[in-house]
Structure 1
């Protein structure tokens, strides 16, 4: 029990130190206009929750979080826009956040031995992806067919499929969002007019 507590404390201190270093690096870049040293972070062990503190370390290029008990990844993962390699294998992940599509520099995504069934269509934005491991996941029939044998050619075809789907959905949903927003504004203006009319009637009375 004491050993587990000690391990947790050390990991917490490590994350705090990395966060501080990341902030200092940002200040250095702003001051001298040069890129600072990039990070590789390896965090394995019986971790169940992905700390959002990690998502503040925007200079990480390689993140290894394999062999944990992670069930989900936070949406803030998309903040790690310099990430090139992500290894989240051997966890209990059931899905990926849509913000995975923000990791446009990603070249290797290792997700074998999880519980993933479907993929977000934002995965199609990962045009630089060269190595994608989805082995030993309970993939849906569609995803399994797209993934195939996981070869380079198969992965490229898979990314193109999701990119087409992403673009099609974006074109479909964006106009709908604009209509909803316009309707909401119209309702708000109507409510404001009714309120003003009510106030005027009260004043006259």
Structure 2
């Protein structure tokens, strides 16, 4: 599968050409560099909640997630207790999965603890590869890499959960650490991290 030319004349992959929400996300956000702690914690959390679900489901619920998780402020989420877990489990606006909720709280605590050794952003971005994929079709986009495997291990060693290699590769794509926009896409190379070619 290759690119789809939209009614605006711009080339996008099929997943970003169908739904207006996904199209806007692709055009303005996906693959752009995220280097701040809160932004990375939010995306790490949402990638974990997405496991087993479609990304558009998570995007539709993102405003409710942000409200429920205090704007993904790691300090606030790290302070969540049993009452907060029950509040979240009763919130129909988010994905009500106890294991993922508990992991998000634990990951917030691990994020706070990481500040002593450089922080979440420094750790995650330290796994940027020397080269990025150059896919011409969706089939050429890998689902994980040696760097995402290493990032997964590094995060797990620091107490993070729901950070498997595939989930971490999706995170790396989403925050610009790798550029898996298809060659010919209007977004290829727009992150400023990788060249278009």
Please identify which structure carries the higher strand content: 1
Please say which structure displays the higher CA radius of gyration: 1
Question: Normalising by structure 2, what TM-score?
Answer: 0.22
Question: Normalising by structure 1, what TM-score?
Answer: 0.21
